[in-house]
Every structure is written in C-alpha cells, then in structure tokens.
Amino acid sequence: MLAWGCLLLGSWAFAAEPTAALSFVVIKEDNGKPVRNAAVVLHPVNPRGKQGRGGFELKTDSDGKTHFEGVPYGKLRVQVLASGFQTFGEDYDIDSEAKEITVKLKRPQKQYSIYDDPQGTPKKDAPPEEKK
C-alpha cells in the first residue's frame, strides 16, 4: 500500500499544476454518526472519464475524518468502503485549494429474488435450498 501511495504521489508531484487539500468526513446516513476505519480510496480520472493508474487509500479516524494534501486539479474518483455499509463511489471535480467532501454511507438494502413472493416466502417452484 505504501508503494502504491508513493507511485500516486510521485505521478501527482511532477505535475506543474495547482494542488488541493482534501478533507473527508464519512458518516452514517441514518443517524449522522461518524464511521471510523472506513477506507477512502482516491483514483485520478483522465479527461475521457477512465480511471487512471495508481491511487491512494486513506483510513478515517474515530471522528470519521481523513485528510490528503497535494491532489492536482481535475477529476478524482472517490470510493469509500466500510464493513456493514454499501460501497460509495463518485467522481469529483477538484478546482479549488481546499475541498471538504462529506460521504453518507447507507446500510445494505434487502435483496430481492425472483423466487420469493411479495411476503418473502419461497414460491412453490423455487429451487430447493441447499442444506449446510
């Protein structure tokens, strides 16, 4: 991970463009409480919208916060992963010296099956469940 981050920093550091300081706050959507130890993954995005090589992973603290400086202006793909939550992903335009990004993580939604009727009980023609 350190080598991966150095590769990203190295490729960003050679750019003679302005850079930004990014602050992230990751909270639970349902109650606004911070999500600690969430992985915030940053990927550069090229002008055609393709994710570039390299990237960097940050971890949130107990207040759900993390910070990164030296990000060049342009598109940046942000992914946030945390146990017990849906993965978040969005592209951001970095166009100022400082930017704060608040991410609201959602709990997983109920999964639906074509084999269940609306009440959630298996249909008569559903394949048998495997026994463990």
Q: What are the residue ranges in the chain where pLDDT is below 70?
A: 1-16, 116-127, 129-132
With beta carbons less than 8 A apart as the criterion, state whether 22 and 68 touch. Answer: yes
pLDDT at 127: 67
Tokens of 46: 């090229």
- Give residue-wise pLDDT tens across range 41-60: 999 998 888 998 888 999 99
pLDDT at 126: 61
* Annotated domain spans of the chain: 2-105
The span from the CA of 80 to the CA of 40, in Å, is 5
pLDDT at 52: 84
With beta carbons less than 8 A apart as the criterion, state whether 53 and 2 touch. Answer: no
Q: What is the CATH number of domain 2-105?
A: 2.60.40.10
